[in-house]
Amino acid sequence: MKIEILGSGTSMGVPMAGCDCRVCQSQNSKDKRLRTSCYIQTGDREILIDTSADYRQQMIRSGIKRLDAVLYTHHHVDHVLGMDDLRSFNLLNNMSIPLYGMNETIANLQRIFRYAFEVHEYVSSLPRLTVNIIDEQPFSIAGVPVIPVPLLHGRLPVLGFRFGDFAYCTDVS
């Protein structure tokens, strides 16, 4: 299994625009972090957790050419705003991308990106997505076992995900 943390920054990224603090002005590469996302490759399957606002930059920087599925931890914008850019993988791989998330997360994606979930005459420039509502029960993505880990982000229920011995948990109170 290959795991790549694509971003581990705050909801505004690091450095934060306009900030003069020591960390944001630092030249240390550890103080240059994109927003939260994780890429997992297991066998011939490629899975992304969250499409941050930095999603496009993360995909280009990491040389990722295909996605078999996207898992969402929760619906906060720093975890979902890159969803529209999934359409590049629709075009390149000529396939719909399965999305996995809790009911509230998917409902918020459908509200924020309403156009992407409606039927249109011209679909080539829109994301093609297949919605999968998940809860705390284990499931699999094309034979890859996934164990959701229920967590709290403040009072908001969110999910972490376990793949074998690796667990990805973000925004945990």
**What structural domains and CATH numbers belong to the chain?**
2-168 (3.60.15.10)
Amino acid at 10: T
Please tell me the predicted confidence (pLDDT) of residue 89.
Answer: 92
Please tell me the predicted confidence (pLDDT) of residue 128.
Answer: 87
Task: Kindly tell me if the per-residue pLDDT of 149 is higher than 70.
Answer: yes
Cβ atoms < 10 Å from Cβ of 167: 11
β-sheet bridge partners, residue 131:
99
pTM (2 d.p.)? 0.92
Query: Higher model confidence: residue 58 or residue 118?
Result: 58
The residue-averaged pLDDT of 140-146 equals: 93
